[in-house]
Structure 1
Amino acid sequence: MSATWLARKLCVAIFLAWLVATIVFLSLHMVPGDPAELLLSTGGTSPDPYAVAELREKLGLERPLIAQYGSFLAGVLRGDLGNSLVDDYPVLQEIALRLPRTLELIAAGSLLAILVGVPAGVYAALHRGGAFDRAASWVTALLLAVPVFVVGTLLVLLFAQTLRLMPAGGFVAFSQDPAQHMKLLTLPAIAIAKGLAAVLFRMTRAAMLDALAHDYVRTARAKGLAPRRVVFVHVLRNALNPVVTVLGLHMGTLLGGTVLVEYVFNWPGMSTPLLRAVEGRDYPMVVGIVLTISVLFLLINLLVEVVHALLDPRIAHS
């Protein structure tokens, strides 16, 4: 992987981040009507003109569009995303508090999905048509069909209400009580992992079957290489590229898809300020969260491309 290739990918990621920030900024001004009036309108009644004028001044809507855009970009570069319109709390501080909890939940769910889905996909491919392969295919189809909030509710009913093995929900910092923190993390991580594990299983199985059919595998076997070496050195390495792609894409979508899981298990991540901001029409908070999720999605995609280049050096020279 050359420095030139990596620099080119970084430039593309920075350009896309600027493009996302521009689209988010313009979305406010593309809404029909006065944004300040829309933010203050409740129950179909007209807001107080003085309150509208005050909000327009606070948001800088009185200035020319190009001046607003320049101030917006300068604030983003400084890390200043403004203050919440609901409680006047800095948006960046709220995101800094909530984002690590959401990322922890996504990381735990993704790790669990990898530990279950990838080995199961490898085993199913090596025993194609067997009992495990058929049973796992049915189970993954069921997991993909059931919505995540239904799985979350069933987990609470089974493990918290019936068996009383796990707490129903909540949050305790790891520094305060590590054991309780891990207990509270387990059920939401399982709820997140169920769909990703099913996708990883199917993708790993398909990629392994495709790799097993190549000539280099038959050549390696003909040379007398041990079956384990053929599978894990030659087959699995080549099969991991599409698996990594799917994993990266799904981890990106999980940034916006954990809202229901956090709500069901009362996990205080990004879902709480996002839902509150949407309901309260808190424009700075919504913009800050959308920008954060978008930039993280771009970073995950960049990381996926780097991993691809490490798995297959030919990609960095294409």
Structure 2
Amino acid sequence: MTWLLKRVAVSLLLVWVVATVVFLTLHMVPGDPAELLLSTGGTAPDPVAVAELRERLGLDRPILAQYWEFLVRLSQGDLGNSLVDDYPVADEILLRLPRTLELIAAGTLLAVAIALPAATYAAVNAGGAFDRAASAVAAVLQALPVFVLGTLLILVLAQWLRWMPAGGYVPFAQDPGRHLTLLLLPSVAVAKGLAATVFRMARASVLDQLSRDHVRTARAKGLTPRRVLRRHVVRNAMIPVTTVLGLQMGTLLGGTVLVEYVFNWPGLSTPLLRAVEGRDYPMVVGIVLTVSGLFLLINLVMDLLYAVLDPRISRS
């Protein structure tokens, strides 16, 4: 329990650090949000109107006063309202976050379902034709930019073969079949890099476990190869794989922006890009903090998985 409390405390401290860094960074970016909001057609806004808007938004107060109010509201779960349309930031995030998480979850499940069995089979048959082919494919996928793969998927499967829609979004409750069809291509684009990374790590980890003394001892006792692989190889090999998987899943939270843009998937990317362009501080801070918090939560869950896979970790 002490081990878990320490990690929760560290996670909360990191959230505060991220919030502070994001707040200060945005306020150091050149440009006045009030002027940007009131500018139309390249015409300079009325200085009186700019001053009134700055006062209404609280931008005329000292930076420390704004920071303190920001922390107080954040501790209450209040992310403020968008400077662009005065819409609550939390409501916008709650609307779009499930779509991004769904895309990440689908991509992760697809990557793991393909990479782990392929890596195990390649390691058991190291040096064979499958091992060489799978390793080559993993290297190509890892080097291929996600927007290139997304464009190729749309060009081949949607434009040439017309097997899949090019992009879009339909709520699951409205049309489950259409929803899953639209989810497939962006999930493949999200999964490609993760699958390549998991494959390479899992293959190396399984190869390492196959050479361990306890595995040779299990074989000498007459255990079947399948049982040795399941009980003595795969379980121990999953610890470093879990580490990589946790880090990569956290990275996907920020890496789905291009995928959502290419496939017109209405996740967090659209309000984030709009907020950055319009100096919408509350929206940017809210989305970045949400992504950072989820990243830390994922890593905390992975720590718990380490303890399940290897109980010695929880006592360290």
Under a length normalisation based on structure 1, what TM-score does the superposition of the two structures give? 0.94
Superposition deviation, residue 214 in structure 1 = 1.0
Q: Distance in 2 between matches of 1:208 and 1:39?
A: 56
Q: Distance in 2 between matches of 1:89 and 1:36?
A: 16
Identify the residue that residue 62 of structure 1 maps to in structure 2.
Answer: 60
Q: Deviations over 1:16-41 (max 9, x none)?
A: 11111121222234346766557767
Q: Distance in 2 between matches of 1:290 and 1:40?
A: 25
Q: After alignment, is 16-25 or 245-254 more displaced?
A: 16-25
Identify the residue that residue 155 of structure 1 maps to in structure 2.
Answer: 153
Q: 1:272 aligns with which of 264, 270, 273?
A: 270
Superposition deviation, residue 234 in structure 1 = 0.7
Superposition deviation, residue 15 in structure 1 = 1.1
Q: 1:29–1:35: 8 Å Cα contact kept in structure 2? A: no
Superposition deviation, residue 126 in structure 1 = 0.2
- Alignment of 1:119 with 2:117, yes or no, is yes
Q: Distance in 2 between matches of 1:304 and 1:172?
A: 32
Equivalent residue letter for 2:261: Y
Q: After alignment, is 122-131 or 25-34 more displaced?
A: 25-34
Q: 1:190 aligns with which of 188, 201, 211?
A: 188
Instruction: For 1:1-318, list aligned pairs within 5 A.
Output: 3-31=1-29, 36=34, 47-318=45-316
Superposition deviation, residue 315 in structure 1 = 0.8
Q: Deviations over 1:11-69 (max 9, x none)?
A: 11111111111212222343467665577678987653223323322332333433322
Q: Unaligned stretches of 5+ in structure 1?
A: none
Q: 1:39–1:282: 8 Å Cα contact kept in structure 2? A: no
Task: Please state whether the residue corresponding to 1:313 is helix, strand or coil.
Answer: coil
Q: Distance in 2 between matches of 1:152 and 1:317?
A: 44
RMSD over aligned CA atoms reads: 1.9
Report the identity percentage.
71
Superposition deviation, residue 253 in structure 1 = 0.8
Task: Please state whether the residue corresponding to 1:175 is helix, strand or coil.
Answer: coil
Q: Distance in 1 between matches of 2:248 and 2:57?
A: 35
Task: Please state whether the residue corresponding to 1:266 is helix, strand or coil.
Answer: coil
Q: Distance in 2 between matches of 1:129 and 1:114?
A: 22
Q: Distance in 2 between matches of 1:272 and 1:215?
A: 53
1:245 to 1:85, Cα distance in 2 relative to 1, 3 A? same
Q: Distance in 2 between matches of 1:130 and 1:45?
A: 68
Superposition deviation, residue 204 in structure 1 = 0.3
Q: Distance in 2 between matches of 1:21 and 1:271?
A: 19
Q: Distance in 1 between matches of 2:121 and 2:38?
A: 58
Aligned length: 316
Q: Distance in 1 between matches of 2:39 and 2:285?
A: 19
Q: Distance in 2 between matches of 1:255 and 1:282?
A: 20
Equivalent residue letter for 1:155: L
Q: 1:98–1:269: 8 Å Cα contact kept in structure 2? A: yes
Task: Please state whether the residue corresponding to 2:222 is helix, strand or coil.
Answer: coil
Runs of 4+ in 1 over 4 A off after TM superposition: 32-47
1:215 to 1:40, Cα distance in 2 relative to 1, 3 A? farther
Q: Unaligned stretches of 5+ in structure 2?
A: none
Equivalent residue letter for 2:284: V
Q: Distance in 2 between matches of 1:55 and 1:254?
A: 37
Equivalent residue letter for 1:176: Q
Q: 1:113–1:194: 8 Å Cα contact kept in structure 2? A: yes
Q: Distance in 2 between matches of 1:5 and 1:66?
A: 35
Equivalent residue letter for 1:314: R
Q: Distance in 2 between matches of 1:54 and 1:286?
A: 23
Q: Distance in 1 between matches of 2:279 and 2:32?
A: 13
Q: 2:33–2:280: 8 Å Cα contact kept in structure 1? A: no
Under a length normalisation based on structure 2, what TM-score does the superposition of the two structures give? 0.94
Equivalent residue letter for 1:90: P
Q: Distance in 2 between matches of 1:85 and 1:28?
A: 14
